[in-house]
Amino acid sequence: MDTTLSTTLSGMLTTYQELRDRIYTMARQHGFRPDWVESTRSVRLLLLYDSNHVVVARTTVPVRDITMAKLDRLREDLAPVFGKEWME
């Protein structure tokens, strides 16, 4: 990952592992079940299910080449279920 991205995003999640761990934590807190349904070299497709097995969110989580645009999209995709500040 580019070091400028790291310094620009200080305090935010910037690695796949950090993103994955936060998603699991937030899903558990909100009663959702995460399901990774598809993976490529650069992204993983995530579905979040509620207790009735209904998909409440769908997004792609960047695995490599993480950019600010990809992080913004991820934040926006999950904000309706986790809240606007879930990544901070």
DSSP β-bridge partners for residue 39? 44
In a domain, 27, yes or no: yes
Q: What is the CATH number of the domain that holds 41?
A: 3.30.920
What pTM was estimated for this model as a whole? 0.83
In a domain, 32, yes or no: yes
73: pLDDT strictly greater than 50: yes
Q: Which residue has the tokens 């490599």?
A: 64
> What is the largest distance, in Å, between two alpha-carbon atoms of the chain?
43
Q: How many domains does the chain have?
A: 1
Task: Supply the range of the domain harboring residue 74.
Answer: 3-82
In a domain, 10, yes or no: yes
Cβ neighbors of 17 (< 8 A, separation 6 or more) are: none
Query: 22-72: per-residue pLDDT in tens?
Result: 999 999 999 999 999 999 999 999 999 999 999 999 999 999 999 999 999
Q: How far apart, in whole angstroms, are the C-alpha atoms of residue 44 and residue 6?
A: 21
